[in-house]
Structure 1
Amino acid sequence: MPYYAIFLDLGERPCLVVGGGAVALGKVRGLLRAGARVTVVAERAIGRLRALAAGGEIALAERAYRRADMRGIHLAVAATGDPEVNRRVAADGERRGVLVNVVDVPALSSFISPATLERGALQVAVSTSGTSPSFAAYLRDRLGEEIGPEYAAALAVLGGVRERLRSQDRPSEERRRVLRALAERGLVGLVKARDRAGVDELLGEVAGVDVTLDALGVRLGE
């Protein structure tokens, strides 16, 4: 069955991770990067999870999972290694309409997590629909060889240009044309070379004389 690809806004939303090992830690870190408010429930938590709790980054309850832990939760992850506990988490989540991922068990999950490549605001997600997560990770790594940090800076330039054009009430079709032209005419390569003069020249030709890196507040190489 094909999955519906989506990016969720989890900013300040309560999320639950059941499990206290290295896999749970990876899920916690991803949720924190997305701005979620994370609670971890685990009978035993590894030191790095305890450190996050001590620093106030997560809430940690070192005890057995309870059905009440699902109350008020927006998204949950079961990563316990105990099939029975994972099934309970999945069932409780379904009962409350909570999105639940049971690690490595797509059949019990209402969503699965892709392998992701992050370059600043750019995120590239690769999924095999649960068939082979390791192959998804392999493809993600291959893409990472092609999509370097310069793409983050190029995206910052494009985002700044987009906002500048919107503030000038340029038609949406013109905005699309300008942004596409910047990408097609070598913006990424100029950014990678840290060629400020070249970027400014391209911006002037395509977007208008008042659009420069300084005007956009973008610094190359960051």
Structure 2
Amino acid sequence: MYPVSLDISGLLCVVVGGGKVAERKVLSLLEAGAQVRLISPQLTEALHELAVAGRIDWLARYFQSGDLRDALLVFAATDNRQVNEAVAREAAAAGKLVNVADAPELCSFQVPAVLHQGDLSIAVSTNGKSPALAARIKKQLEADYGPEYALLLELLGRIRERTLVGIADGQARRNLFENLLHEDILRWIKNGQWEQVRSHLRVVLGPDADF
């Protein structure tokens, strides 16, 4: 599998199925800003609320040929193996990326377990062999990568925008950011020692740096 992060904001993704697995797929797609088309005669309560609110396009029927038109990503998440296989076949024939619940051999992509801390994303994939193991590893990572990483990344993003415009040399940029990442900076942020953080940034960026 080739790992990649996709910008799916505003793009159509189709989910076939209306149960709990489909619900998880839909919620993650909406979180990423996708346009979601959901195909199922029945929905969970949460999915029905999303449909009533107009947040998803619900086709209240079984899957039909042509339902994957214009989709970037396709998710087959029914409890019917034959339906899932039909969705996978049509997606493959149309050259679309498809994920089939509990059938890694039918998938052209897998959805990893993902830990989010702000703009930091850490994905764990087992190539579909053990989602449970991926979830366990993700839980272990949560203890090591707390909210301080989100704050640090936000700070580094602001510094990049404000200070690197005039630095053309790539090595100089790399050196600057390596110097910013003091071995104690995460501890300072986690403990709320912001004056120590500011002092360090002034040493690296100069006393007049705006951050």
Give yes or no for TM over 0.5. Answer: yes
Amino acid at match of 1:180: E
Specify which of 146, 149, 152 is matched with residue 147 of structure 2: 149
Q: Secondary structure at the match of 2:66?
A: helix
Q: Secondary structure at the match of 2:181?
A: helix
Asked whether the 8 Å contact 1:165–1:175 carries over to 2, the reply is no
Specify which of 103, 107, 112 is matched with residue 105 of structure 1: 103
Question: Whole-Å Cα distance in 2 between the matches of residues 112 and 41 of structure 1?
Answer: 20
Q: Secondary structure at the match of 1:16?
A: strand
After superposition, residues 35-50 of structure 1 pair within 5 angstroms as 35-50=33-48
Instruction: Report the alpha carbon displacement of residue 181 of structure 1 after superposing the two structures with TM.
Output: 2.4
Specify which of 188, 200, 203 is matched with residue 202 of structure 1: 200
Q: Secondary structure at the match of 1:167?
A: coil
Relative distance call for 1:171 and 1:208 in structure 2 (3 A) is farther
Instruction: Report the alpha carbon displacement of residue 170 of structure 1 after superposing the two structures with TM.
Output: 4.5
Q: Share of identical aligned residues, percent? A: 38
Instruction: Report the alpha carbon displacement of residue 171 of structure 1 after superposing the two structures with TM.
Output: 2.2
Amino acid at match of 1:144: E
Aligned pair count?
Answer: 211
Unmatched runs of 5 consecutive residues or more in structure 1? 217-222
Relative distance call for 1:169 and 1:178 in structure 2 (3 A) is closer
Aligned-residue CA RMSD in angstroms?
1.2
Question: Whole-Å Cα distance in 1 between the matches of residues 16 and 117 of structure 2?
Answer: 29
Aligned to 1:29: 27
Q: Secondary structure at the match of 2:67?
A: helix
Asked whether the 8 Å contact 2:50–2:56 carries over to 1, the reply is yes
Question: Whole-Å Cα distance in 2 between the matches of residues 209 and 170 of structure 1?
Answer: 21
Question: Whole-Å Cα distance in 2 between the matches of residues 10 and 42 of structure 1?
Answer: 22
Q: Secondary structure at the match of 1:125?
A: strand
Q: Secondary structure at the match of 1:76?
A: strand
Question: Whole-Å Cα distance in 2 between the matches of residues 58 and 100 of structure 1?
Answer: 19
Runs ≥4 in structure 1, deviation > 3 angstroms? none
Asked whether the 8 Å contact 2:167–2:173 carries over to 1, the reply is no
Instruction: Report the alpha carbon displacement of residue 167 of structure 1 after superposing the two structures with TM.
Output: 1.9
